[in-house]
Structure 1
């Protein structure tokens, strides 16, 4: 009888242990559907020492928020890149330990994102992520985040090394194919142009946390680059090289060399500048004449009504 009771106890202990076992080795799951079915409702996600990065683009917004709804402790890195999420929620997470290869959380380039919910008691720690001065969390290029939403996020991370997101900042998703992509107040990431860029020239510039890369393209005119302010926080190389149709005016080249460390070579020879510089001067004169004419018309209208 005693052995029978011991057997029942052992079976009960094993069942309890299986039920209490946190959802740790996520990389071992067959697919994301398996993760959702097995881990939904779990209080712990990830293992204490690993290189696993959970990529949110495998899920839709509802699935992602449902997965993290009851989680109290996260033991991995999470990346939320270029999704269509409007709201991201971590309402019950109070302990978050990063993986060994990067920041605990990256939320980058989500154009529709309006709100991120954190538990105010959450504490972030690093596993073996080496750079002491690296950010614990990266939230950049989510252009719809309001000032209020950013202030709420900043309050959570005020005691960590954290770059405060900019209102209206866009993330650059790879190479720029259409110049209409450059319509933001500021940018996160390198502005690198594809070989054959289409679209109208940007009418406004902006600050860029990244480098300028114009290489092996068919671009002919880049005077608009003068309105952009490149100040990368990461190591990268500015370069304008091997563009067989590109003629850079002397004024633009001097401006770029004064503003940044940049390599400019193997474009059209400098002899092309006479035409370009004359064209720039002509456009400047036309602009001034237009302003003068507009002022004269305004004055005439003003005096005619008095």
Structure 2
């Protein structure tokens, strides 16, 4: 039996409609009540819908009929394959930042927008450069990327890269760095496991190597870092780390970075000597192999 209090609450929600989103006791209740609504939210509000609390079907059902939305939506690290906003033509952000963020969804292949969609910031609140962020969704199809770029060509919008992964922030396993491009900061853990990456690419994020036990980060040379102006890039306090002069020069050409309090610069001579020794040993084995082949050829004659 439904209690009087519950009935009273449902009447209140029915009167309010789907404009005052903060009145809903749960996201589930919001979906059940507003799945056919043409208007969701009203300005100003600070409502942020976190997609991880919904299934893919629930999420798409909520926005299936919506034509005007005033809220922020964050779709982070879900297993969704498709997001749909087919009838939505006006989207006003909340007071908490960009209207829509779709980041780090490894299975996401398609995002469908109405071609007439327009995004707006709420006036009187801090200005956020981007109203929409779609980054680090590694399976996003090239067709979807081109369609999104076409729809958002009049907005300040960064076109997603094909095959771009979202980095977890703290990298403990190098095996996660096997994508064509990366979105997020590269911050190495105290110890790293996994093979050195054989694939490199663009990194839209900061580089932080601080107080680790690493002794070699030469592999970062292959990555093309594009940190934002807010990054504090640094390689400091790594007691076992010897950085070659060429790597330091390379990183300083790419970004504003602080490199200090690692092994003293004299370690570079040891690194160079070790490298030269490896080259000499390699050449020695090549010569021996060629001599063995030559001797074998003469023996066959």
TM over 0.5: yes
For the residues of structure 2 that align with 1:292 and 1:117, how far apart are their CA atoms?
A: 61
Q: Map residues 1-306 of structure 1 onto 2, 5 A cutoff.
A: 19=14, 21-128=16-123, 129-131=125-127, 134-282=129-277
Q: CA deviation at 1:16?
A: 11
For the residues of structure 2 that align with 1:288 and 1:208, how far apart are their CA atoms?
A: 36
Q: CA deviation at 1:289?
A: 8.9
Q: CA deviation at 1:293?
A: 11
| SS of residue paired to 2:169 | coil
RMSD: 2.7
Where in structure 1 are there 5+ consecutive unaligned residues? Answer: 1-14, 295-306
For the residues of structure 2 that align with 1:267 and 1:33, how far apart are their CA atoms?
A: 52
Aligned pair count reads 280
Q: CA deviation at 1:292?
A: 11
Asked if the contact 1:210–1:234 (Cα under 8 Å) also holds between the matched residues in 2, the reply is no
For the residues of structure 1 that align with 2:282 and 2:22, how far apart are their CA atoms?
A: 60
Q: CA deviation at 1:94?
A: 1.3
Relative to 1, partners in 2 of residues 1:184 and 1:158: Cα closer, same or farther, differing over 3 Å?
same
TM-score norm. by structure 2 comes to 0.84
When structure 1 is superposed on structure 2, of 151-160 and 28-37 the one drifting more is 28-37
Where in structure 2 are there 5+ consecutive unaligned residues? Answer: 1-9, 290-301
Cα distance per residue 1:205-232 (max 9 Å; x no partner): 2111111101111212100011111112
For the residues of structure 2 that align with 1:292 and 1:205, how far apart are their CA atoms?
A: 33
Asked if the contact 1:49–1:127 (Cα under 8 Å) also holds between the matched residues in 2, the reply is yes
